[in-house]
Amino acid sequence: MKSLLMIQSSLLWYFLTILSMSLLVGALASLYRFFRESRNHNWKLICLFNLGFNFFLFVIFMDCAWYESGVGFGHDYNSFQMMMFDLPWIFYAVSELISLLMLIWVDQNHKHYQDNNLTPDSIRKALNFLPEGILISDRAGTVWLTNLRMGALSRDLTGEILSDADDFWRKLEEQNIGENGQLLVRHNTEVWLFEKSSIEVEGKEFFQTIAGNVTEWYHIIEELHDKSTHLKEVQKRMKEAAELSADMFVAQEQAKARAALHNELGQVLLMGRHYLLHPESNDPKLVYMTTGEMNRFLLGEKVDLEQARGNAMNQSVMMASSIGVTVHLTGTVPNEGQITELLGQLITECAANTVKHAEGDELTVECAESSREYMILVTNNGKPPKKEIAESGGLLSLHRKVEEMGGVMMIESAPVFRMAIRVKK
């Protein structure tokens, strides 16, 4: 086996020398980390031993090189040094392998300690992994601590490396608007919120600047603002619609009043005409009563609704008789409720139309009742309509009344006039 001296100046010797120097640097770095972390003395002694061992190997390699090259000519090498030169190179290769394994063992222990204990390096790494930007500076603007995110934001927003905290904040204020130590900064498609506050550590004042990505929050606020604006517009339209509905309701009530007035006037006029043409066939008391009711209606005097409903059908029959129309009621005739009031309005309107349009004098009203509804069929003995009957005036008012009660009204014009009404109970 060749000795170390015999392989001097070969590739193998250079490899062992460079490896020895690298192990020496690694052992020195490990010892520095353990002293900085204030680790226990056992690990410090291990690192110190590894450092000394690698230093010894490196010195042997250097002395061997000087001896072989003649640089150390005239220098007295003792027997120990000569013995080390004569050792086989495999001894040094194994020694360096042991030192490398020891260095790896120490490094693994160092990583395990960092993963399970709070150290300056672990704090720095944790800060660098944060999605938020963090900057700690003193009153002079000197940067004491920062993470990768804040450094990247400084380069993106100002185009400069973060070295002066005050200058960095001043440039942000020039480009953006903020207050109370807060700045809202837009960058490309993102929105960042910068917040600066004062903190005190061991009696010394520092400034903490935090940058958070509020893009999603900002978009939600904008969306809520747009929805709020839309809601205000909807409320405005609803208010206008309510005002319009009120106007439409008033107009509808006015139309109902005009229709009622039209019907009442028509009945009185028809009754008066019939009385003038056939005075012998009319009861003067009936004419007087009807005229009085009409006057009270025109003057707006109150009428007992219950009494009016109870007598609605009888009064309609009497009114029809007063204008020369005989009403024939057949079937199950209701005598109370809305259906009676509807029947009275139907008789009044159809009797008037029988005189005015059909020139008839008889009106037939057939009533039927089932478990669910009332059915009414109306015909007259007058002339058939010359054309399709258009609902207007009293007929239109009657149709609306039926629909309000949840019923259906149909009118046939040919071959004869026929009206059918179905109303749910």
The whole-angstrom separation of Cα 16 and Cα 87 is 14
Instruction: Indicate the pairing of strand 408-412 with strand 373-380.
Output: unpaired
Q: What pLDDT does residue 148 have? A: 92
The whole-angstrom separation of Cα 374 and Cα 402 is 11
- Indicate whether 190 belongs to any domain: yes
Q: What pLDDT does residue 256 have? A: 57
Domain of residue 293, CATH code: 3.30.565.10
- State whether residue 421 is helix, strand or coil: strand
Q: What pLDDT does residue 120 have? A: 66
Helix intervals (H) in 210-304: 215-277, 284-299
Whether 129 and 100 map to the same domain: the answer is no
Query: Which residue range is the domain that position 322 belongs to?
Result: 251-424
Tokens (6 digits) for 267? 């009945």
- Indicate whether 239 belongs to any domain: no
Rounded to the nearest angstrom, the gap between the alpha carbon of residue 321 and the centroid of all alpha carbons in its chain is: 69
Whether 130 and 273 map to the same domain: the answer is no
- Indicate whether 339 belongs to any domain: yes
CB of 81 closer than 8 Å to CB of 29: no
Among candidate residues 61, 89, 117, the one where a domain is terminated: 117
- Indicate whether 204 belongs to any domain: yes
Give, for all 425 residues of the chain, the pLDDT tens digit.
Answer: 688 878 877 888 889 989 999 999 998 988 887 777 666 678 788 888 989 999 999 988 888 877 766 554 445 667 887 888 888 889 999 999 999 999 999 888 877 777 776 666 677 777 888 889 999 999 899 999 899 999 999 999 888 899 999 999 999 888 776 767 788 888 888 899 999 999 988 889 999 999 999 988 888 887 888 888 888 888 888 887 777 765 665 555 555 555 555 555 566 666 656 555 666 555 665 556 556 655 655 555 444 434 444 467 888 888 888 888 999 999 988 877 888 889 999 999 999 999 988 999 999 999 999 888 999 999 999 999 988 888 888 889 899 999 999 999 999 988 889 999 999 88
- Indicate whether 244 belongs to any domain: no
For residue 183, the one-letter residue type is L
Instruction: Indicate the pairing of strand 178-179 with strand 362-369.
Output: unpaired
Whether 87 and 147 map to the same domain: the answer is no
Whether 390 and 351 map to the same domain: the answer is yes
DSSP 197-221: EEEEETTEEEEEEEEEE-HHHHHHH
- Tell me the pLDDT tens digit for each residue of 366-400: 999 988 899 999 999 999 998 888 888 888 989 99
Residue with tokens 């086996």: 1
Domain of residue 177, CATH code: 3.30.450.20
CB of 411 closer than 8 Å to CB of 419: yes
- Indicate whether 345 belongs to any domain: yes
Whether 277 and 397 map to the same domain: the answer is yes
Question: CA distances (Å), 205 to each of 2, 196, 377, 384, in order?
Answer: 67, 13, 98, 106
Rounded (10°) angle between helices 215-277 and 394-404: 130
Vertex 183, ends 181 and 188: CA angle to 5°? 160
- Indicate whether 181 belongs to any domain: yes
Total domain count for the chain? 3
> Cis before residue 120, ω within 30 degrees of 0?
no
Among candidate residues 213, 234, 267, the one where a domain is terminated: 213
The whole-angstrom separation of Cα 170 and Cα 207 is 14
> Among residues 149, 323, 137, 387, which one has the least CA distance to residue 157?
149
Whether 282 and 417 map to the same domain: the answer is yes
Whether 268 and 351 map to the same domain: the answer is yes
Among candidate residues 91, 117, 143, the one where a domain is terminated: 117
- Indicate whether 164 belongs to any domain: yes
Whether 300 and 394 map to the same domain: the answer is yes
Whether 108 and 148 map to the same domain: the answer is no
- State whether residue 203 is helix, strand or coil: coil
Whether 307 and 259 map to the same domain: the answer is yes
Whether 201 and 256 map to the same domain: the answer is no
Whether 257 and 372 map to the same domain: the answer is yes
Task: Region of 360 please: left (phi>0), alpha (psi -120 to 50) or beta.
Answer: beta
